[in-house]
A and B are shown apart, each in its own frame.
Chain A
Amino acid sequence: MPFIPHTEADIAAMLDSIGAPSLDALFDEIPADLNCAGLKGVPAGLSEMAVTRLMHARAAQDGFYSSFIGAGAYEHHIPAAVWQIVTRGEFYSAYTPYQAEASQGTLQLLYEYQTMMASLTGLDVSNASLYDGASALAEAVLMAVRANKAGVRRVLLPDTVHPRYRAVVQATVKHQGIELVSVAFDQATGLTDLAVLEALAGTPAAALVIPQPNFFGALEPVDVLTDWAHAHGMLAIAVANPLSLALLKAPGQWGSLSPSPSPGGGGELRAPLRGGVPAGVDICVGDGQPLGVPLSSGGPYFGFMTARQALVRQMPGRIVGRTVDLDGKPGFALTLQAREQHIRRSKATSNICTNQGLLVTAATIHMSLMGPEGLKNVALAAHANTRALLDKLLSLAGVERVFNVPFFHEAVIRVNTPVPDVLRALRAQGILGGHDLGRDYPELAGCILICATETKTEDDLEQYRQQLERILSRRNGREPGVPPCAYK
């Protein structure tokens, strides 16, 4: 019996103690006509060896590809130490740290995580995670609406936010009568269209969502957008790639009213109020996947959320605080639990209970191994690789740049051949060439979102260029005219 230790003698003795004649008798309170008598549709059990063989065969069938897809999930090197420690039984098989004295390992790690995320985003407080980036944005929208004293139930959600994030926000908040207003992007720059935004100036809203980088990899004018939100009485919600924040300005510093930062880093750098208008965003969310979490077909990842101190009681999810024990010794415990469902029930800030703790464990160890310099260098290396790839591909006939603006490690190209055909032909060569933007943006049919992280070598980039050249020339009725080595 897999994972059941009982011997026949145990069973007999235990039934005897209970005073039950058989195992079946333990179910005698269940109406007999409900008994389904087993699960005939579930296949027979397999040994570990047999299931291992089967799983290895399936993994081999799927194989490996040279992937240039980003679009919200990014391939990065993960130090071996990360998952070896994460899968230690003491982290892997522990429960939610409600019994604080028996969970100091998890609790201290979460406190360290909160510190790292608050600093990375330049805000005051962090929770202990949400499901993923999209659901974190949905929670941020709900939080902004709760915090709106005038009761405005409207949020501005630009089209440059990841399409899946927008879909999840819509599915999550629609039952609470919250209106999401889209903001079109400038077709020339791929950035939130400030003229469109200005036209919404008279429409009361609880928040403006600001993606950085946006879904196209383009860098939004975050200072302008943050100030605009605040000037119109809205909260500013940043959606950020956490890796990019090792390189890019922290959301807590966005806005022209930011003071010049002082050395030392950390959440204490949050900009003060200036003339009643605060600088910096109010809430920052995103997906923590780039911080040590494997791609794994889409999950489990984790959503992060940081905010200004004033909003901490509106936050969803678990929060860890440092306190002292009976002897005055420092220790850690879950805190502000009166926000949560197990205490506040129907009045809770969210229904979330289980979060993504183990992924946060990975991210905390990952960030510790990388350090500030390492994380920045990963961001720089990934960005340099995408630039190099972009240069190579733009050298080909039939490829052009779309949105000629600064970007971070992801950019858009247009090809003169139908994108599904191009991507299929690349796939046949073992290359996943990027994300077809026409799937979510009809006006961007013909466009591919490409990303080359630090994991790609010069040879990988060159392979992509050569194969794309071959495919485009064949499709366009020409023979490849340029030998592979003649790049620039």
Chain B
Amino acid sequence: MLIFEHAHPGRRAHAQAPYDAPAADDLPAELLRQNPPLLPETSELDVVRHYTRLSQKNFSIDTQFYPLGSCTMKYNPRACNSLAMLPQFLARHPLADVETGQGFLVSMYELQEMLKEVTGMAAVSMAPMAGAHGEFAGVAMIRAYHDARGDTARREIICPDAAHGTNPATASMCGYTVREIPTDRQGNVDLEALRAAVGPQTAGLMLTNPSTLGVFEQSIVEIQKIVHAAGGLSYYDGANLNAILGRVRPGDMGFDVIHMNLHKTFSTPHGGGGPGAGPVGVSERLKPFLPIPYVLEDRGFHRWAEEGDCPQSIGRLSTFGGNMGVLLRAWVYARMLGGQGMHRVAEFAALNANYLAAELKKAGFDLAFPERRASHEFIVTLKKLKDATGISAMDFAKRLLDYGFHAPTTYFPMLVPECLLIEPTETESRETLDAFVTAMVKVRDEAQLEPELVKGAPHTLPVRRLDDVKAARELDLTWKPV
């Protein structure tokens, strides 16, 4: 039942809005609305009950294991939320003078400095509001760098075929064409193909490491050198930073720019789709181009860098500087972890991933790269099962939902047929991982014995499998009163 169907004309949440407001008799009639918008007329209890019940139809980290590869669904500590929502922080207007927000700004500055240390980069701006936004900032800086040198023939960005879709989409938004290069059988970038691809047209390379295949690029330094030798810059997609936190740093590997997903590595909530935060770190030569604002410190006083401070900046990416409340949550998380805690994140993310991979392998599942160490995630391929039973990775994933586990990422990366990309994260216990293995085995047994059960899954959720084709063909995007 939709909220609109709970509505009754004349009903209101009486405590929430001014009851009698003075008429706007100063406004010309032709500018006024004549019909009320279609908002529900409901009581406060109706609304609370409706949305509480809706929430209960969701899987979430707080209620289920969520081994969603490439998404880093780790526990979101509650303190991060409650401290970011202290009333003084919530009440502060973005255009209030910096003198009124030194407590807030020093926290932003400290986070910026910690992210510099984590990535080994020369400078960080926290302006981008999501991973793809950080990618945009990074590639725009690469372009600004080449343009500032008059090196305008560089019009191509190289992406491995295993890259997230945001990489090529970002390159397009920055006016570049995309050249894809293949991955070798070990899951590494094909170095020969890379050597053949670079040239005077190369603006840069975008590389995710550990890759979306869940393995560390062993030739990472060489890759970066090939690109630099051709005059291009190197972009490190930090989507999978959780696996290397405190272990290796993109700055030490010679990269020019990196974005981080704080809603992954720094445990800010995914919120059913967002908000995120996608800070960018840069090498010395890209520093002048950083997006604004970022925090400047002068003898203990903190303020935002603005247009006048950095005339070569790629500019502003948001009205007021970014997802500040997300950054505050990341600051709390970073302070609770400390340097040692961050180091442990990578250790235990790797321990959980490798343990789960080992246990699934022992249980007879095929790993896509069995001879490689898993980083923070790994891929199981169900190709053989599909061939034998007709049960696809999608069917398998849907049946896992019935056992109370969120499905792993399916059909990404596209290089591996019938793949499940599995990322347990460091916050899950061994018992949870063992229970997941048990469920995986059970679903495989069902696939062989009762394939219809799996094909028809899920059976225990609020809805069964949905008709995506109908959704796209007979578009129903808004409710209409009967």
Partner of B271, one of A57, A94, A299, A378: A94
Let me know if B320 and A372 touch, CB within 8 A: no
Let me know if B465 and A325 touch, CB within 8 A: yes
Chain A residues near B241 (CB, 8 Å)? Answer: none
Q: Which chain B residue lies CB-closest to A92?
A: B269
Let me know if A94 and B58 touch, CB within 8 A: yes
Q: Which of A46-54, A184-192, A394-402, A464-472 contacts B (4 or more CB under 8 A)?
A: A46-54
Over the window 1-40 of chain B, the binary record of Cβ atoms lying under 8 Å from chain A Cβ atoms (1 yes, 0 no) is: 0111000000111011111111110111011111111111
Q: Assuming the A-B contacts A30-B216, A89-B60, A104-B57, are A95 and B83 also in contact, with contact meaning beta carbons closer than 8 angstroms in the complex?
A: no
Chain B residues near A79 (CB, 8 Å)? Answer: 13, 15-16, 44
* A373 contacts chain B at the CB level, 8 A cutoff: yes
Partner of A36, one of B103, B113, B215, B248: B248
Over the window 39-77 of chain A, the binary record of Cβ atoms lying under 8 Å from chain B Cβ atoms (1 yes, 0 no) is: 111111111100110111111111111010101110101
Q: How far is the CB of A111 from chain B (nearest CB, A)?
A: 7
How far does the alpha carbon of A162 sit from the alpha carbon of B81 in the complex, in Å? 31
* B283 contacts chain A at the CB level, 8 A cutoff: no
Over the window 155-182 of chain B, the binary record of Cβ atoms lying under 8 Å from chain A Cβ atoms (1 yes, 0 no) is: 0000000001110111111110110000
How far does the alpha carbon of A427 sit from the alpha carbon of B348 in the complex, in Å? 49
How far does the alpha carbon of A119 sit from the alpha carbon of B23 in the complex, in Å? 22
Number of cross-chain contacts by CB at 8 Å: 711
Let me know if A249 and B31 touch, CB within 8 A: yes
Let me know if A92 and B89 touch, CB within 8 A: no
Let me know if B175 and A29 touch, CB within 8 A: no
Main SS class of interface, B: loop
Let me know if B21 and A381 touch, CB within 8 A: yes
Q: Which of B69-77, B230-238, B438-446 contacts A (4 or more CB under 8 A)?
A: B69-77
Q: How far is the CB of A438 from chain B (nearest CB, A)?
A: 13
Partner of A299, one of B245, B322, B355: B322
Partner of A247, one of B24, B133, B215, B247: B24
* B372 contacts chain A at the CB level, 8 A cutoff: yes
* A389 contacts chain B at the CB level, 8 A cutoff: no
* A318 contacts chain B at the CB level, 8 A cutoff: yes
* A417 contacts chain B at the CB level, 8 A cutoff: no
**Considering residues B113, B335, B463, which has the most beta carbons from chain A within 10 angstroms of its beta carbon?**
B463
Q: Assuming the A-B contacts A41-B117, A331-B463, are A135 and B317 also in contact, with contact meaning beta carbons closer than 8 angstroms in the complex?
A: yes
* B364 contacts chain A at the CB level, 8 A cutoff: no
User: For chain A residues 128-180, which have a beta carbon within 8 Å of chain B?
Assistant: 128-129, 131-135, 162, 164-165, 167-168, 170-172, 175-177
User: For chain A residues 103-131, which have a beta carbon within 8 Å of chain B?
Assistant: 103-106, 108-109, 111-112, 114-116, 118-120, 124-126, 128-129, 131
* B388 contacts chain A at the CB level, 8 A cutoff: no
Let me know if A298 and B321 touch, CB within 8 A: yes
Q: Assuming the A-B contacts A351-B132, A371-B12, A432-B93, are A46 and B338 also in contact, with contact meaning beta carbons closer than 8 angstroms in the complex?
A: yes
Q: Assuming the A-B contacts A62-B104, A325-B464, are A171 and B317 also in contact, with contact meaning beta carbons closer than 8 angstroms in the complex?
A: yes
Q: How far is the CB of B163 from chain A (nearest CB, A)?
A: 9
Q: How far is the CB of B340 from chain A (nearest CB, A)?
A: 6
Let me know if B325 and A299 touch, CB within 8 A: yes
How far does the alpha carbon of A6 sit from the alpha carbon of B351 in the complex, in Å? 10
User: For chain B residues 46-87, which have a beta carbon within 8 Å of chain A?
Assistant: 47-48, 50-52, 54-63, 66, 68, 71, 73-77, 79, 81, 83, 85-87
Let me know if B38 and A2 touch, CB within 8 A: no
Let me know if B88 and A168 touch, CB within 8 A: no
Q: Assuming the A-B contacts A325-B467, A384-B22, are A299 and B39 also in contact, with contact meaning beta carbons closer than 8 angstroms in the complex?
A: no
Let me know if A296 and B88 touch, CB within 8 A: no
How far does the alpha carbon of A85 sit from the alpha carbon of B272 in the complex, in Å? 13
How far does the alpha carbon of A56 sit from the alpha carbon of B34 in the complex, in Å? 47
How far does the alpha carbon of A249 sit from the alpha carbon of B32 in the complex, in Å? 5
Q: Which of A193-201, A276-284, A357-365 contacts B (4 or more CB under 8 A)?
A: A357-365
Let me know if A88 and B252 touch, CB within 8 A: no
Q: Assuming the A-B contacts A352-B130, A354-B276, are A91 and B55 also in contact, with contact meaning beta carbons closer than 8 angstroms in the complex?
A: yes
Q: How far is the CB of B46 from chain A (nearest CB, A)?
A: 8
Q: Assuming the A-B contacts A105-B54, A106-B58, A299-B320, are A370 and B16 also in contact, with contact meaning beta carbons closer than 8 angstroms in the complex?
A: yes
Which interface class (under 10, 10 to 19, 20 to 34, 35 or more) fits B? 35 or more
Q: Which of A202-210, A225-233, A263-271, A473-481 contacts B (4 or more CB under 8 A)?
A: A263-271
Chain A residues near B303 (CB, 8 Å)? Answer: none
* B228 contacts chain A at the CB level, 8 A cutoff: no
Let me know if B100 and A5 touch, CB within 8 A: no
Q: How far is the CB of A31 from chain B (nearest CB, A)?
A: 7
Partner of B31, one of A94, A102, A177, A222: A222
* B324 contacts chain A at the CB level, 8 A cutoff: yes
How far does the alpha carbon of A356 sit from the alpha carbon of B178 in the complex, in Å? 28
How far does the alpha carbon of A5 sit from the alpha carbon of B74 in the complex, in Å? 12
Q: How far is the CB of A136 from chain B (nearest CB, A)?
A: 10
Count residues of chain A with CB under 8 A from any CB of chain B: 208
Partner of B246, one of A11, A38, A369: A38
* B95 contacts chain A at the CB level, 8 A cutoff: yes
Let me know if A354 and B273 touch, CB within 8 A: yes
Let me know if A102 and B275 touch, CB within 8 A: no
Q: How far is the CB of A349 from chain B (nearest CB, A)?
A: 9
Q: Assuming the A-B contacts A44-B339, A101-B462, A381-B21, are A321 and B475 also in contact, with contact meaning beta carbons closer than 8 angstroms in the complex?
A: yes
Q: How far is the CB of B165 from chain A (nearest CB, A)?
A: 4
Let me know if B57 and A63 touch, CB within 8 A: no
* A482 contacts chain B at the CB level, 8 A cutoff: no
Over the window 73-87 of chain A, the binary record of Cβ atoms lying under 8 Å from chain B Cβ atoms (1 yes, 0 no) is: 101010101010101
**Considering residues B58, B352, B429, which has the most beta carbons from chain A within 10 angstroms of its beta carbon?**
B58
* B337 contacts chain A at the CB level, 8 A cutoff: yes
Chain A residues near B362 (CB, 8 Å)? Answer: 17
Q: Which chain B residue lies CB-closest to A49?
A: B79
* A273 contacts chain B at the CB level, 8 A cutoff: no
Let me know if A351 and B54 touch, CB within 8 A: no
Q: Assuming the A-B contacts A135-B317, A175-B174, A368-B40, are A357 and B58 also in contact, with contact meaning beta carbons closer than 8 angstroms in the complex?
A: no
* B481 contacts chain A at the CB level, 8 A cutoff: yes
* B427 contacts chain A at the CB level, 8 A cutoff: yes
Q: How far is the CB of A419 from chain B (nearest CB, A)?
A: 12
Chain A residues near B338 (CB, 8 Å)? Answer: 42-46
Partner of B272, one of A38, A95, A133, A346: A95
Chain B residues near A418 (CB, 8 Å)? Answer: none
Q: Which chain B residue lies CB-closest to A223?
A: B30
Let me know if A62 and B101 touch, CB within 8 A: yes
Given contacts A38-B339, A347-B172, 6 further A-B contacts (CB under 8 A): A64-B87, A321-B472, A357-B272, A376-B21, A377-B19, A406-B27
9 intermolecular pairs with C-beta atoms under 8 Å apart = A4-B344, A30-B248, A125-B478, A219-B27, A265-B36, A323-B474, A351-B166, A355-B273, A357-B274
10 shortest interchain CB distances as A-B pairs: A89-B62, A298-B320, A45-B338, A358-B271, A357-B273, A58-B103, A374-B17, A298-B94, A171-B315, A380-B21
